[in-house]
Structure 1
Amino acid sequence: MLLVEGLVRLRHTRKDTPAAMADRNDSSRGSRNKRTWQSYRQRHRQRSHAQAHAEAKQITIPPVLEHPMVPQAPPDTVETQADLLALVDSLRTAGRFAYDSEFIGEQTYYPRFCVIQVATTEKVTLIDALADLDLTPFWELIADEKVQTIVHAGQQDLEPVYRILDRTPGEIFDTQIAAAFLGLSYPCGLSKLVSSLLEADLGPGLKFSQWDERPLSEVQKHYAANDVRYLPLLHETMVEQLTKIGRLEWVREENEQFSLPATYQVTPAGQRLRMRGAGMLDPLRRARLEALVQWRDRAAREFDVPPRSLVKDALLLELTRLKPITLEAIRRVRGLPRPVKGRLGEAILQVLEEARPETGQTDDGARRLSRREIEATREQADVIWQRVRAKCDEDKIDPAIVTSKRELTHLVRRFRERGDWAARVSESRLGRGWRGELLGEILRDPPPEA
Structure 2
Amino acid sequence: MSIPNHLRVDHPDQLATVAKALAAAPWVALDSESNSMFVYREQVCLIQINAGGGFFVIDPLALGVVASQTPSAVLTPLRAELERTDRPLYLHGGEYDAACMRRDFGIEMGGVWDTQQAASLLGWPKTGYGSLVEAMTGVVLGKAWATYDWATRPLHPEALAYAIDDVVYLPGIAETLKTAVAAADIEDEVDQANRVVAASGWNGGFDPSGMWRIRDVNALGPDGLRVLARLYAWRDGAAQAENLPAGRMINNEVLGLLARHPPATPADLKKSRLKSYIVDRYGPALLEAMALAKDDPAPARREFLRMTPEAQAREQRLKAWRRDEAERRTKADGRTVPLQLVLPARALEHLTLHGAADLATVPQLGARRAARYGDALRGLCG
Q: TM-score range by the shorter chain?
A: 0.5 to 0.7
**CA distances 1:63-116 after superposition (whole Å, capped 9, x unpaired):** xxxxxxxxx963332232211232034325537421113444332113464432
In structure 2, relative to structure 1, the CA distance for the partners of 1:160 and 1:203 (3 Å cut) is same
1:204 is aligned to 2:147: no
Equivalent residue, structure 2, for 1:230: 169
Report if aligned partners of 1:81, 1:133 keep a CA contact under 8 Å in 2.
Answer: no
1:173 is aligned to 2:113: yes
Q: Tell me the distance in 2 between the aligned counterparts of 1:267 and 1:170.
A: 29
Q: Tell me the distance in 1 between the aligned counterparts of 2:117 and 2:229.
A: 29
In structure 2, relative to structure 1, the CA distance for the partners of 1:107 and 1:215 (3 Å cut) is closer
Q: Secondary structure at the match of 2:192?
A: helix
Equivalent residue, structure 1, for 2:273: 335
Aligned alpha-carbon RMSD (Å): 5.2
1:116 is aligned to 2:47: yes
In structure 2, relative to structure 1, the CA distance for the partners of 1:213 and 1:176 (3 Å cut) is same
Equivalent residue, structure 2, for 1:191: 130
**CA distances 1:230-278 after superposition (whole Å, capped 9, x unpaired):** 2223223323322332333333333334455654344638846765556
Q: Secondary structure at the match of 2:137?
A: coil
User: Could you tell me how far 1:181 is from its partner in structure 2?
Assistant: 0.7
- Structure 2 counterpart of 1:153, from 72, 78, 93: 93
In structure 2, relative to structure 1, the CA distance for the partners of 1:344 and 1:278 (3 Å cut) is closer
In structure 2, relative to structure 1, the CA distance for the partners of 1:343 and 1:444 (3 Å cut) is farther
Equivalent residue, structure 2, for 1:45: none
Counterpart amino acid of residue 241 in structure 1? A
**CA distances 1:358-414 after superposition (whole Å, capped 9, x unpaired):** 8x949x989xxxxxxxxxx9xxx99x999977765655355699889xx9xxx9xxx
1:357 is aligned to 2:285: no
Q: Tell me the distance in 1 between the aligned counterparts of 2:173 and 2:326.
A: 23
Counterpart amino acid of residue 269 in structure 2? R
In structure 2, relative to structure 1, the CA distance for the partners of 1:152 and 1:365 (3 Å cut) is closer
Q: Tell me the distance in 2 between the aligned counterparts of 1:78 and 1:273.
A: 43
**Normalized against structure 1, the TM-score is what?**
0.56
1:5-20 equivalences in 2 (<5 Å): none
- Structure 2 counterpart of 1:344, from 286, 292, 299: 286
1:77 is aligned to 2:12: no
Report if aligned partners of 1:98, 1:232 keep a CA contact under 8 Å in 2.
Answer: yes
User: Could you tell me how far 1:308 is from its partner in structure 2?
Assistant: 0.8
Identical-pair percentage: 20
- Structure 2 counterpart of 1:423, from 353, 358, 363: 353
Shifted more, 276-285 versus 85-94: the winner is 276-285
Q: Secondary structure at the match of 1:237?
A: helix
In structure 2, relative to structure 1, the CA distance for the partners of 1:422 and 1:178 (3 Å cut) is closer
**CA distances 1:43-77 after superposition (whole Å, capped 9, x unpaired):** xxxxxxxxxxxxx6xxxx7xxxxxxxxxx963332
Report if aligned partners of 1:175, 1:235 keep a CA contact under 8 Å in 2.
Answer: yes
1:26-175 equivalences in 2 (<5 Å): 74-94=5-25, 96-111=27-42, 113-133=44-64, 136-138=73-75, 141=78, 145-147=83-85, 148-165=88-105, 169-175=109-115
- Structure 1 counterpart of 2:154, from 209, 214, 236: 214
Report if aligned partners of 2:21, 2:51 keep a CA contact under 8 Å in 1.
Answer: no
1:311 is aligned to 2:241: no
Report if aligned partners of 1:97, 1:118 keep a CA contact under 8 Å in 2.
Answer: yes
**CA distances 1:305-331 after superposition (whole Å, capped 9, x unpaired):** 0121122122344456x385x744983
User: Could you tell me how far 1:190 is from its partner in structure 2?
Assistant: 1.1
1:286-305 equivalences in 2 (<5 Å): 296-305=235-244
1:389-408 equivalences in 2 (<5 Å): 395=330, 396-398=336-338
User: Could you tell me how far 1:170 is from its partner in structure 2?
Assistant: 4.3
User: Could you tell me how far 1:304 is from its partner in structure 2?
Assistant: 0.6
Q: Tell me the distance in 2 between the aligned counterparts of 1:171 and 1:296.
A: 40
Counterpart amino acid of residue 101 in structure 2? V
Report if aligned partners of 1:97, 1:119 keep a CA contact under 8 Å in 2.
Answer: yes
Q: Tell me the distance in 2 between the aligned counterparts of 1:116 and 1:180.
A: 25
Structure 1, unmatched stretches of 5+, are 1-55, 62-71, 367-376, 412-420, 446-450
**Normalized against structure 2, the TM-score is what?**
0.64
In structure 2, relative to structure 1, the CA distance for the partners of 1:265 and 1:225 (3 Å cut) is closer
Report if aligned partners of 2:98, 2:200 keep a CA contact under 8 Å in 1.
Answer: no
In structure 2, relative to structure 1, the CA distance for the partners of 1:81 and 1:386 (3 Å cut) is same
In structure 2, relative to structure 1, the CA distance for the partners of 1:341 and 1:252 (3 Å cut) is farther
In structure 2, relative to structure 1, the CA distance for the partners of 1:259 and 1:403 (3 Å cut) is closer
Q: Tell me the distance in 1 between the aligned counterparts of 2:364 and 2:202.
A: 17
Structure 2, unmatched stretches of 5+, are 66-71, 331-335, 357-361
**CA distances 1:291-316 after superposition (whole Å, capped 9, x unpaired):** 76555444423321012112212234
User: Could you tell me how far 1:285 is from its partner in structure 2?
Assistant: 8.5
Report if aligned partners of 2:15, 2:78 keep a CA contact under 8 Å in 1.
Answer: no
Q: Tell me the distance in 2 between the aligned counterparts of 1:306 and 1:245.
A: 43
In structure 2, relative to structure 1, the CA distance for the partners of 1:257 and 1:306 (3 Å cut) is farther
In structure 2, relative to structure 1, the CA distance for the partners of 1:400 and 1:126 (3 Å cut) is same
Q: Secondary structure at the match of 1:433?
A: coil
